[in-house]
Amino acid sequence: MKPLRTPFRSLLHTPLLLTATLTATLALAACSDKPGSKGWCDSKKDQPKSEWTADDAVTFASHCVFEATTVGSEAWCESLAEKPKGDWSSNEAADYAKHCVF
């Protein structure tokens, strides 16, 4: 006797559908602002603090209170540009390329 095949199960085994689902998920995740970035800080300012997590509060305090620590802000870009490139972390280099170069 053959096992019953449900439409959902057969869809999951379709490589094209799996690829499309994974691509859509990654695309949506890439759209969100990185914690500590200017966009993230702006969205947190508009969000009620009762909805913040403890991590949100710590990140906001360390990156959004002073502009020089807000990832992608003009002051942050200038500060990082003055720092020797050999001392940059990989995250700093990626953020600099994303926010300050392009």
DSSP reduced 3-state for 19: helix
- 73-82 pLDDT, tens digit per residue, is 888 899 899 9
Give the pLDDT band of residue 71 (cuts 50, 70, 90).
confident
Give the span between the Cα atoms of 7 and 81, in whole angstroms. Answer: 55
Share of the chain above pLDDT 90, in %: 31
Maximum average pLDDT range among 65-74, 79-88, 93-102: 79-88
Eight-class DSSP state of 36 = T
Spatial contact of 62 and 36, defined as CB atoms under 8 Å apart: yes
Give the span between the Cα atoms of 36 and 63, in whole angstroms. Answer: 5
- 32-42 pLDDT, tens digit per residue, is 788 888 888 89
Whole-model pTM over 0.85: no
Give the span between the Cα atoms of 59 and 43, in whole angstroms. Answer: 13
